[in-house]
Structure 1
Amino acid sequence: MPMSGPRGRTRVGVIEDHPLYRAALARVLANAVDLELGAVAESVEQFAAQHEPASTVVVLDLKLSGIADAAAVSEVVAMGHHVLVVSGYAAPADILGAIGAGARGYLSKHADAEDILHAVRTIGAGDSYISPELAGVALDSARHRYESARLDLSVRERQVLALVAAGERDQDIADEMEISVRTVRSYLDRIRDKTGLRRRTELTRMAIEEGFASL
């Protein structure tokens, strides 16, 4: 559940290493009557030391000193918070990496104050928010990568996928294909690298959609 402060206000923290932007962002959040400004820090480590209550919405820059990028998102999510990335970097890899690490939202630093407040409120209400233009960039990139990768899978990789889709464990796949478990996991690592899909359920869905499950 989202964290609410006094009178039902959503609690918000900030992790941003640029002093002027950090101060401006903190001011915008502090002036919103429905938000309660919590810890304002220049790094994930400094933020962690302030022990914010779980489910705080944390506005996070990606390019920080110390823990940075997707690792920073993962670290803050692991603390039990809801992350809104506001970054000067909007490449597909940055967006997809942050979302994959658990970010609830992503905005460019070109976003104005109202956009940031809207995103914070949306995430505070338990939903996710990515600006439409960034969502389009990320989806186009993911689609292109997926379509390229599925054409690049070897016969053996497709066989592994088919057995994954059938619910087989790594040892079962190894026995069926007469290879070692280590080799099975190597195939799975290559499949994940090619497709960008990490979870077994995602791989199973792809195998079924592409007809690999019937191999």
Structure 2
Amino acid sequence: MTASEGGPIRAGVIEDHPLYRHAVANVLSGARDVELGPVAESVAAFAAAGEPAGCVVVLDLKLPGVTGTRAVHEVVRMGHQVLVVSAHAGQDEVLGAISAGARGYLSKDADGDDILHAVREIAAGNSYVSPTLASYLLDSTRPRAGSRSVLSDRERQVLSLLAAGERDADIAAAMEISVRTVRSYLDRIRDKTGRRRRPELTRLAIEEGMV
């Protein structure tokens, strides 16, 4: 249940490091307005707990099994709101996680009060990125030499699906085209924009207002 519904905030943890997992769980369970949900070491273990949709999930990015932005995407698909707390807090990681559906991002130097504040903000329907990381989002929205005029509608559709965390096969299924055609579109996008890696393409989608 979220704060906006008047009850305690339901919060879970997905973190593979035992000590940090235990510490975050203690922070959450010690707050009067938070009800601790599943505490798991992987996305699969969390899913197996059968938590109803609506939980705020504190998620690490580097996990066994499903990992990175795919982990964010999977937890969001379960109907939960994701707060990433990761030791990896570079621009690519932050933008990738937000584009995959995360509602917040903190680095692991955040203390317990920071985590609780972010959880409460997200439960209230807001987003939260620590001030030290917010500059990445600001930088990503500043106008650059644009690609809006050079990308076709189909290329923009492929790019938006990629930024949402979809794999090539998922994009192909969504657009009813072959995986080979998807990769051809991606090659054209890379040639037109000079962006090569997927995090760079995700950042481009954010700059273009597709995310």
TM-score for both structures, normalised by structure 2: 0.72
Distance 1:58 1:122 in 2: 13
Task: Supply the AA of the counterpart residue of 1:25.
Answer: V
SS of residue matched to 2:144: helix
Q: Is the 8 A contact 1:30 1:37 kept in 2?
A: yes
Match of 2:144 in 1: 147
CA distance in 2, matches of 1:60, 1:102: 12
SS at match of 2:150: helix
CA distance in 1 between partners of 2:118 and 2:188 (Å): 36
Q: Aligned residue for 1:36?
A: 35
Structure number with the bigger relative contact order (C-alpha 8 A, sep ≥ 6) is: 2
User: Aligned to 2:66, what secondary structure does the other structure show?
Assistant: coil
Report the Cα distance in structure 1 between the residues aligned to 2:48 and 2:119, rounded to whole angstroms.
23
Specify which structure has the higher proportion of helix: 1
* Number of residue equivalences: 174
Matches of residues 18-37 of structure 1 in structure 2 within 5 Å? 18-37=17-36
Which deviates the most, 93-102 or 131-140?
A: 131-140
Could you give the per-residue CA deviations for residues 99-134 of structure 1, whole angstroms, max 9, x where no partner exists? 000000000110011010000000011110001110
Equivalent of 1:202 in 163, 188, 209: 209
Contact 1:13–1:37 (CA under 8 A) maintained in structure 2? yes
1:103 aligns with 2:99: no
Q: Which runs of 5+ in 2 are unaligned?
A: 157-180, 196-200
5+ unaligned residues in a row in structure 1: which ranges? Answer: 165-181, 204-215
Distance 1:65 1:89 in 2: 15
Q: Look up the match of 2:118.
A: 119
Q: Which residue of 2 aligns with 1:210?
A: none
Query: Are 1:84 and 1:103, in contact at CA under 8 Å, matched by a contact in 2?
Result: yes
Shift of 1:198: 4.0
In 1: Cα distance, 2:193 partner to 2:43 partner: 29
SS at match of 1:58: strand
Q: Closer, same or farther in 2 for the Cα pair 1:80/1:158, shift >3 Å? A: same
Q: Which residue of 2 aligns with 1:56?
A: 55
Whole-Å Cα distance in 1 between the matches of residues 64 and 185 of structure 2?
34
Change (3 A) 1:159 1:50: closer
- Structure-1 residue corresponding to 2:9: 10
Question: Which residue is 1:68 aligned to?
Answer: 67
Partner SS state of residue 209, structure 2: helix
